[in-house]
Chains A and B, each alone.
Chain A
Amino acid sequence: QKEVEQNSGPLSVPEGAIASLNCTYSDRGSQSFFWYRQYSGKSPELIMSIYSNGDKEDGRFTAQLNKASQYVSLLIRDSQPSDSATYLCAVKGGNQFYFGTGTSLTVIP
């Protein structure tokens, strides 16, 4: 079983819609959770981090964490074509840091 799992997509949403990206993890002791965005040919950039159960909002982005169900999600409101990228979920537990394989998002104008 992979440590961090994401649906590879591609996920397509129309411009202005809400994009929902999901991630599950296997290590129940994981403490820190991160979402990265990676444009094609570029390195990942950190979008959000979340550590506690519940929602964390930053602009158009909302991260949601449910430790009991071992999932973390990212919502992108008012999606823009510039949001088209691969989104990587990362989970830190102890000294280990694991990345999911990423979900490809396409926002259609």
Chain B
Amino acid sequence: GAVVSQHPSWVICKSGTSVKIECRSLDFQATTMFWYRQFPKQSLMLMATSNEGSKATYEQGVEKDKFLINHASLTLSTLTVTSAHPEDSSFYICSARSVQANYGYTFGSGTRLTVV
């Protein structure tokens, strides 16, 4: 089946530093990757849609200069949280659609970010 590999699984960083999260589609090509954020006991919130070879599309209220998305190949998309602050602490999840998942979303394992 479709697998999306995401790492790191968890990261603790100091306030003001940047953190990069990677997502790779292992057995399929993901022309589009979606990035979500989930706060405790809340639903998934779409942050941005990452398209291979073009600029990402950000949802309203998401700062594109703070959350840098790069989708340089058909199997790799990265999210960089720049100048992280404690309020950025959250669970970040990437996903992509695949034929193997009946065109549903296959999710990465998520990244738990804690900014101290």
Contacts and interface: CB of A to CB of B under 8 A. Distances in A.
A43 B107 contact: yes
A34 B110 contact: no
A101 B43 contact: yes
B53 to A, nearest CB: 18
Contacts of B109: 42-43
Interface in B63-79: none
Interface residues of A, number: 18
Size range of the interface on B? 10 to 19
Interface string A30-47: 001010100001111110
Contacts, number: 43
Interface string A66-107: 000000000000000000000010101000010111100000
A79 B36 CA distance: 29
B110 A42 contact: yes
Given A42-B110, A43-B110, A90 B105 contact: yes
A92 to B, nearest CB: 8
A49 B44 contact: no
Main secondary structure of the interface of A (DSSP, over half): strand
Contacts of A41: 91, 112
26 contacts: A34-B104, A34-B105, A36-B105, A41-B112, A43-B6, A43-B107, A43-B108, A43-B110, A44-B44, A44-B93, A44-B105, A44-B107, A46-B105, A49-B101, A49-B102, A49-B103, A49-B104, A90-B104, A92-B103, A97-B34, A97-B105, A99-B43, A99-B44, A101-B42, A101-B43, A102-B43
Interface of B: 6, 34, 42-44, 91, 93, 101-110, 112
